[in-house]
Structure 1
Amino acid sequence: MMKVPMLEKAERYLEGISDFGSMNLNSLLEYHHIHQYFENGLFLERWTEVQKSSYRKIIKTAFITLRKYLYDLRDKDFIGVIDELEFDNRSNFWEVFRYFEVYKKIERKTFEKILDAHPHHVRYILPLKQIVAHFNTELRAFLLTYEESAELLLTHYEQKHDEPSEYYFPTDLNDTDKQDIIAAYLDSPSPNLNYVDLALHSKHLKLPPRLLLKAKQTSERVKDELLTEENSIKISGRAALNMDQSEAVIFEGEGEELTTVYGGAFFDSIENDLKLFSVFSPVFLYTNQEGLINLVSKHTELNILEKIGMQSKNEYLYGMYFAKKDMDALNQLMIFDLYLHKKGRSIENLLHLVIHGLFNSYFKIPGLTFSMPDAGLKPVDKIRLLAPEMEYLLKQYKNFVSNGEISHELLQMDSSQVYFSDIPSLLERKYIYSDHGSIRTIQYHFFDQDSVLADRKDSNGRRTLMKAFEAGKVYRSDFEDYQQQFIDQAVEAGDLLINDDGEVLMADPIRVIVAGKLRENGFISYWHYHKPFRDEIDRLIAEGLLRTSDKLLTSEEVNYFNFYLNKREYTNGKDLRNKYLHGSNIRDEHQQRADYHYFLRTFILILLKLRDDVTLYKHHYGSSLNRKS
């Protein structure tokens, strides 16, 4: 839609042509803009073939004049010409500089002078491979001293883009050069925090530990200088245990004084350990009703600034809502640990009993072994004992699902690490997800507050289309004039219907409901639903709108575990498993205690996922877990 005004402007240039020879460089470069439109097949619909042919001839003449203009320039004139370039023509200048191979006729010293006079033009030069290759040595020398070189490197190698970065760097610029550039930037008086954090979370630049430490220290210093109580948001959470309280949870106070109080008497009323362990799901909400982990970072929970801010390719993206969930979940774990301590028990003992009671006694998985660390050990020792036990538990489960039995002799022959993404479920079609464009369109039209169909007249605030359907009947006349074409598009796509009374209806309500659930959680746990709904999901799978997974964990859950336990995927993760097993953990006992709670919470989530899998299998296929049906 934006191209029409630009093409109309181009038409004025083409119709008003006079003498190319009298034009300056800025005017001639306008015809390069027009040439790019034509090369991409962009023309006004009203233009006839005769007009198009005539315009192409004009462009050809303009190009001949432009080439002659550039070739006639003396080396000493280039800096002055570049001085006079309009902003919109700077990139175009270097494009034609490459296209006409002007770079082959100027002296290398001239190119160096251009960079010295206009250093910011390097951003237009780096996307042009031929120029970068030709001035390889000169560009390396320039980048070694240019104050924004680190930002260029980090933008190219580490920043997340919707499209791949198009920069080419001189081949003479080696890894040592790049590290020196990053080091100098971190030592500079006012480094940009966004780029400092890109360096901190870098992977592709392969920065050595000393530079990563420098980036960490610089990030902390800059944050201390920038963040104050006036310009930052404090995330806090308070939790307490009342041993006499019979309610599961109550809230006391408000604002920053809000305290979540959990009831010891409520925990006392739970009749056995397996049900006591279950408080992590319906009370603490570690998982939802479908057995999906609530604590993962969800795109729908990010605010607009968190979505559009500079992001690393290598970071686990999360925002304030995730941080609040994380804090609340840790508080809940510590409250529960405190409750057990008051009862003369430990959480380690409870989890040991739950594993054996659940998997050995109740579900009767033959040969499964597990041992929790002793509650009296130091946190660092608990992690070092629990990490391999947790991994072996997952290996046993994978072996059981794949082969119908657990072979410890076979597992002992395999010392490789188990990956969360490789663990199978007992159930085929465990999860439903979608990457289909029509599902994304439904999610946008029906559930997004920023949808073009959400801002309806006579409504208070931005009500989504789905909320409008839930509130009552919806009519075409309810929508503004600018929305009508989008209503027509939704009807044409088969998402909406309009009856003879002008009432707007959902063409396929199940498809909309499924799209909404996928927008909220990313996945649907197939076997948590009754057969009529599963049949409808099967229909949408057959139509190619939905895809299935037969893994124990969703991809979002895999990402969550990788964020906390290792740095396989994310450089901003806590790396709890690896740093303790390899002895690179922090020596501070307070931090070790916090890390143990993180690790323990991760293990509890894994147990909840395993319990969900075997429970669903038993419910749908009977009591035997000896083979898949």
Structure 2
Amino acid sequence: MTNEYIDRVTFFSVNDLSSSHNLSNAEKILKQQKQIDSSNINDILEIFHIKKFFDEELYHPSWSVNEINEFILTVKNYEKEIPKFIANINDSNLNTLYTQIDWYQYKASFFELINNFNAFKRLGFDGFSQILQAEPYCIEYILTQRGIVEYYDSDIKNFLLNHPVILTENILSIYEVKHDTPQPQRYLPKSLTSEDIESTILNYLNADDAHPNFVQLIVRAKNKDKFKISDKTRLKAQKLCETFTKKIFSENSSLRYGVEISFKEVMQDNKQAYIDDDHIAHFYYNFEFIKSNSQPYLLFLNFIHLFEFLDKQGRITLLSQEKDMGVFERISGVHSKNDYRNNVSFNLKDMASIAQINGYERILRKLDTSIEEILHYIFTDFFHSNYGFANNARLLNISTTYSYFEKIRLLAPEFESILKQFKLFVEDGSIDFELIQISSLPTSIRDIPSLNSKKYLYLNTLNQNAIHYSGLICSDQSWLASVENANKNKYSNFLQLIANEKVKFEDFYDYQKPHINDLIDMGLIKLDENDIVCINNIERVYILQDLYQNGFASFHYYDDALKREALQMEQEGLIYFESTLFSKMEQSYFNYYLNKSEFNNGLDLRNRYLHGTQGNPNDNGEHEHYYFIFLRILILTLLKIDDDLYIANILKN
């Protein structure tokens, strides 16, 4: 078989990009038709992985039909050696065989074979205990095998209870952790009770090697099935988190960043921005420009033109997006599947937007107005006079004399009212306040409709072609992003590569060429007369890139060619449309700040202030910060309504 462990054939998943490379290695083995040594555990496990490719009917694109048929017969002959190997496993050699595995990906497969052939039923647990004693964390491999876990229920339970760190981190991995790649399902012993789990978590919190990321997950974890955490345990975890945080800042080892906002009397441009060496973002705005364009609607539009709260498609720019994360930030740390994923870019945008609103409010006072006054005018007057919106729309103009705590208590229900008013207008063409008053239930962000059909388009994540091909051309992790004759570190994805370099088909490595052929077959790229790779269907590539980078697109901002292509992609099942005021990603952004309906780490501001569970009313600093968050939400909502009304009027006229 193969001589170097790094070259061993490994099956990861059906859609894994390494499949072509692994199948090339499998081809070398299958063509040799070498006699298999059924006592060699690594050869047996390699055959097992090759068999997985053939079970899924995954073949190398270069193989002919005759070669495939020959390889199928060879694999069938090879796989006969697997049960022979399993039959020779016993209590005395189990641990020895495990230590002979030379490729870590095969360790999990060893237990998978024992499970699949029910070999565990003739083995005692002593052999497994020896393995676990030397390598405790390999329990994670065992937990993926349901038969083994159920058969050795009490033995595995006792091992886990004696290793609270391992048990706690596995429990959190099962119930809370968001995994960026597909993970095999893990099973816990059925005899493990919720009391066992609670006790183990408490032991974990008392352990010296408790990890800050897992402790943070305990604070916010959702109770589910046997996984139930009491408020006392959560409080203990929260205090431990605070201790970790203080330690990090006292050691001055964390990345620090900040924001500075200035409005200048004399500036050549209307806005300037840069980030200095200390990671401070500086924003400068032209006060004379603001003063000379002081009509309320123009002042309102500064949230787009100056502060860039929306992009050119009317999408909120303040969202947490994967495209803003570096590779290290994307893969580092432990994150809950129920968390809104924060990152440095998101936190910086969050800080900057609050500082922009705060600074802008001070500037507007010099112009004898306020943000609250402008928003009141926009919703109750401008929308009606310019777009034909309801003439009875209501929005309270909150006095500047109120404290921030009082302002929030007034603003929170106003936000709710705006959503209900717009929803009624879309559905009925008018606003009936008696109808609004009948229902006291809060309005879900996702239920607010748009006036425009096909408002947003999304990539169909259920379509494997949509995911596969958009990843190949757009991902910074794509295997097509570099070739031998180009600067490997210069381009972050395949599209950048072929847009900036004259790359020929022959320049790609052998393992890349099948993917290039796939993209050609899909009509996304082509080879010109000089055999240079170039874009073929520009509109489709643009849409795939737009959706990959931004998560959604606003259909009505596309030109006619892009619209036609988007409709064709819908017919092919590559994308789908929805008609809501806020896109799905924008809904998640709002939910993060307003409630805990979607995320464990949400600020829950709407419920806290409506139900009186907010902090100390006398803590003016905290309430000031939260007020500007509420104000930002209101600003963004009116910007989105303005955008929706604008599109509706363009389409109508």
- TM category (shorter chain) comes to 0.7 to 0.9
CA distance in 1, matches of 2:527, 2:155: 66
Amino acid aligned to 1:129: R
CA distance in 2, matches of 1:445, 1:495: 11
CA drift of 1:198 comes to 2.3
CA distance in 1, matches of 2:101, 2:564: 62
Gaps of 5+ in 2: 1-20, 60-66
CA distance in 2, matches of 1:425, 1:609: 10
CA drift of 1:15 comes to 1.1
Cα displacement string for residues 364-415 of structure 1 (whole angstroms, at most 9, x for unaligned residues):
4143222143322222222222111111210121122112222222222222
Amino acid aligned to 1:128: Q
Task: Report the counterpart of residue 648 of structure 2 in structure 1.
Answer: 617
Go from structure 1 to structure 2 and tell me whether the alpha carbon gap of 1:244 and 1:353 turns closer, same or farther (over 3 Å shift). farther
Go from structure 1 to structure 2 and tell me whether the alpha carbon gap of 1:491 and 1:252 turns closer, same or farther (over 3 Å shift). closer
Cα displacement string for residues 181-203 of structure 1 (whole angstroms, at most 9, x for unaligned residues):
12221221231122223223322
Residues 421-432 of structure 1 mapped to structure 2, 5 A cutoff: 421-432=446-457
Q: Which of 415, 420, 423 is the equivalent residue of 2:440?
A: 415
Residues 267-278 of structure 1 mapped to structure 2, 5 A cutoff: 267-278=290-301
CA distance in 2, matches of 1:476, 1:501: 8
CA drift of 1:598 comes to 1.1
Decide whether the 8 Å contact of 1:387 with 1:577 is kept in 2. Answer: yes
SS at match of 1:382: helix
Go from structure 1 to structure 2 and tell me whether the alpha carbon gap of 1:374 and 1:461 turns closer, same or farther (over 3 Å shift). same
1:197 correspondence with 2:209: no
Higher mean C-alpha deviation, range 500-509 or range 386-395: 500-509
TM-score, reference length from structure 2: 0.82
CA distance in 1, matches of 2:548, 2:330: 16
1:67 correspondence with 2:87: yes
CA distance in 2, matches of 1:311, 1:206: 19
CA distance in 1, matches of 2:514, 2:405: 62
Task: Report the counterpart of residue 589 of structure 1 in structure 2.
Answer: 620
1:139 correspondence with 2:129: no
Amino acid aligned to 1:153: I
Go from structure 1 to structure 2 and tell me whether the alpha carbon gap of 1:229 and 1:510 turns closer, same or farther (over 3 Å shift). farther
Cα displacement string for residues 88-116 of structure 1 (whole angstroms, at most 9, x for unaligned residues):
67545544554565555667899878866
1:506 correspondence with 2:530: no
Task: Report the counterpart of residue 378 of structure 2 in structure 1.
Answer: 354
Higher mean C-alpha deviation, range 605-614 or range 318-327: 318-327
SS at match of 1:281: helix
CA distance in 2, matches of 1:535, 1:213: 55
SS at match of 1:238: strand
Go from structure 1 to structure 2 and tell me whether the alpha carbon gap of 1:187 and 1:243 turns closer, same or farther (over 3 Å shift). farther
CA drift of 1:478 comes to 8.8
Task: Report the counterpart of residue 44 of structure 2 in structure 1.
Answer: 31
CA drift of 1:238 comes to 0.8
Residues 395-410 of structure 1 mapped to structure 2, 5 A cutoff: 395-410=420-435
Decide whether the 8 Å contact of 2:112 with 2:145 is kept in 1. Answer: yes
Cα displacement string for residues 149-206 of structure 1 (whole angstroms, at most 9, x for unaligned residues):
1111111111112335521112232223212212221221231122223223322434
Amino acid aligned to 2:628: H
SS at match of 1:291: coil
Gaps of 5+ in 1: 623-629
Task: Report the counterpart of residue 4 of structure 2 in structure 1.
Answer: none
Higher mean C-alpha deviation, range 368-377 or range 82-91: 82-91
1:389 correspondence with 2:419: no
RMSD: 3.5
CA distance in 1, matches of 2:136, 2:517: 51
1:186 correspondence with 2:205: yes
Task: Report the counterpart of residue 262 of structure 2 in structure 1.
Answer: 240
Task: Report the counterpart of residue 3 of structure 2 in structure 1.
Answer: none
Task: Report the counterpart of residue 239 of structure 2 in structure 1.
Answer: 217
Decide whether the 8 Å contact of 1:293 with 1:605 is kept in 2. Answer: yes
CA drift of 1:336 comes to 0.6
> Identity across aligned pairs (percent)?
26
Decide whether the 8 Å contact of 2:313 with 2:557 is kept in 1. Answer: yes
Decide whether the 8 Å contact of 1:78 with 1:114 is kept in 2. Answer: no
Amino acid aligned to 1:236: G
Residues 76-91 of structure 1 mapped to structure 2, 5 A cutoff: 77=92, 86=101, 91=108
Considering only CA atoms, is the larger Rg found in Structure 1 or Structure 2? 1
TM-score, reference length from structure 1: 0.85
CA distance in 1, matches of 2:75, 2:479: 36
Amino acid aligned to 2:563: R
Task: Report the counterpart of residue 168 of structure 1 in structure 2.
Answer: 187
Decide whether the 8 Å contact of 2:47 with 2:79 is kept in 1. Answer: no
CA distance in 2, matches of 1:253, 1:97: 57
Amino acid aligned to 1:241: F
1:517 correspondence with 2:535: no
Go from structure 1 to structure 2 and tell me whether the alpha carbon gap of 1:46 and 1:412 turns closer, same or farther (over 3 Å shift). closer
Task: Report the counterpart of residue 627 of structure 1 in structure 2.
Answer: none
Go from structure 1 to structure 2 and tell me whether the alpha carbon gap of 1:364 and 1:186 turns closer, same or farther (over 3 Å shift). same
Decide whether the 8 Å contact of 2:455 with 2:579 is kept in 1. Answer: yes
Decide whether the 8 Å contact of 2:556 with 2:647 is kept in 1. Answer: yes
1:2 correspondence with 2:22: yes
CA distance in 2, matches of 1:103, 1:41: 26
Amino acid aligned to 1:462: K
1:126 correspondence with 2:139: no
Task: Report the counterpart of residue 626 of structure 1 in structure 2.
Answer: none
Q: Which of 469, 481, 504 is the equivalent residue of 1:476?
A: 504
Higher mean C-alpha deviation, range 120-129 or range 505-514: 120-129
CA drift of 1:614 comes to 0.9
CA distance in 2, matches of 1:600, 1:83: 60
Decide whether the 8 Å contact of 1:291 with 1:609 is kept in 2. Answer: yes
Go from structure 1 to structure 2 and tell me whether the alpha carbon gap of 1:525 and 1:35 turns closer, same or farther (over 3 Å shift). closer
Task: Report the counterpart of residue 625 of structure 1 in structure 2.
Answer: none
Decide whether the 8 Å contact of 2:419 with 2:443 is kept in 1. Answer: yes
Decide whether the 8 Å contact of 1:496 with 1:504 is kept in 2. Answer: yes
Decide whether the 8 Å contact of 1:430 with 1:549 is kept in 2. Answer: yes
SS at match of 1:237: strand
Go from structure 1 to structure 2 and tell me whether the alpha carbon gap of 1:593 and 1:406 turns closer, same or farther (over 3 Å shift). same
Decide whether the 8 Å contact of 2:499 with 2:534 is kept in 1. Answer: no
Higher mean C-alpha deviation, range 590-599 or range 370-379: 370-379
